[in-house]
Amino acid sequence: MSCRKTLNFRITNHSFQGLDELLKQQNIKPLSLNPHRTLSTSFSALGNLIVQTTDDLQFIKVFRETLAGILQSILRNFPENIFWDFDCLVISILRQALVAEKGADYFLKFFAEKIELLMDLFGNKSEIRFRYLHDFIYGFDWAKWVQKEPKARNLIEPFNPAFLDYLLSRGQEILQLICLGDCQYHHLSENLYRNPFDFSREPKDEIRLFTYLARKKIIPVAAWDWNVSPVWNKPFHQMRESLSLELHLVKTN
């Protein structure tokens, strides 16, 4: 490794440790769906992978600050999230930023703003109030979206701004349904999380179901894999529903 690469490695490793500290401060145990390990890839380790992609220290600094803002937004809005595999999200942001027509800094600011809007829109402080990020991070929402118009969308990756825009629009639609007293999307009391599915998503059931899904490779986005190839063309939602029945994950409310 060259002297410059070694210096970048040390700076990046130290810098990204701060993101791991954010998780520790919130008493988060960052579980992974990787069948071969219990905990997710640390941000320090992700930082090391970033250095192998670019040695631009200024870019790395801005990139780290962008991830810090995104992580803080997630912790604020989804404090009960269970699985924390961010490898795919990080490499997706990195690749998009490095080829952005308006420059990396512009893209990172633009992307972070969209992600933070999404967290605020769907998280525990909103009327929607979902408990986890799992359907977003592991691609269930994305695969369902692609399947609706596969010819137009099959080349759009899970964390592309076009898909984020769809989610922002869908969130506004859900808020409107809540206002209208929709039977599926209705007002919740403050101590409840929203679950529009037919199976339980209580923490112990969520862990059991998603762990089985990962073992059976019924996950659209293996978010723990830096080199993942997302898959959209399988009936993931139906397969998840069937597996929830096999596991007797009965919804109680």
Q: Does the structure show a pLDDT above 80 at 79?
A: yes
Give the pLDDT band of residue 189 (cuts 50, 70, 90). Answer: confident
pLDDT score recorded for residue 251: 86
Q: Does the structure show a pLDDT above 70 at 3?
A: no
Q: What is the pLDDT of residues 162-183, one digit of tens each?
A: 999 999 999 999 999 999 988 8
* Residue 133 falls inside a structural domain: yes
Tell me which amino acid residue 186 is: H
Range name among 2-11, 12-21, 33-42, 234-243 with the lowest pLDDT average = 2-11
pLDDT score recorded for residue 147: 98
* Residue 222 falls inside a structural domain: yes
* Residue 253 falls inside a structural domain: no
pLDDT score recorded for residue 190: 80
Q: Does the structure show a pLDDT above 70 at 10?
A: no
* Residue 252 falls inside a structural domain: no
Question: Residue 224, Cβ neighbours under 10 Å: how many?
Answer: 24
pLDDT score recorded for residue 31: 98
* Residue 251 falls inside a structural domain: no
DSSP state of 202: S
Confirm if 22 and 75 have CB atoms less than 8 A apart: yes
Burial 51-87 (b: 16+ CB within 10 A, else e): beeebeeebbebbbebbbbbbebbbebbeebbbbbbb
What's the number of domains the chain is made of? 1
Give the residue among 119, 103, 17 at the shortest CA–CA distance from 69: 119
**With pLDDT > 90 as the criterion, what percentage of the chain qualifies?**
86
Give the pLDDT band of residue 47 (cuts 50, 70, 90). Answer: very high
Domain that holds residue 183: 3-246
Please state the pTM of the whole predicted model: 0.93
Q: Does the structure show a pLDDT above 60 at 4?
A: no
* Residue 217 falls inside a structural domain: yes
Q: What is the largest CA-CA distance in the chain?
A: 62
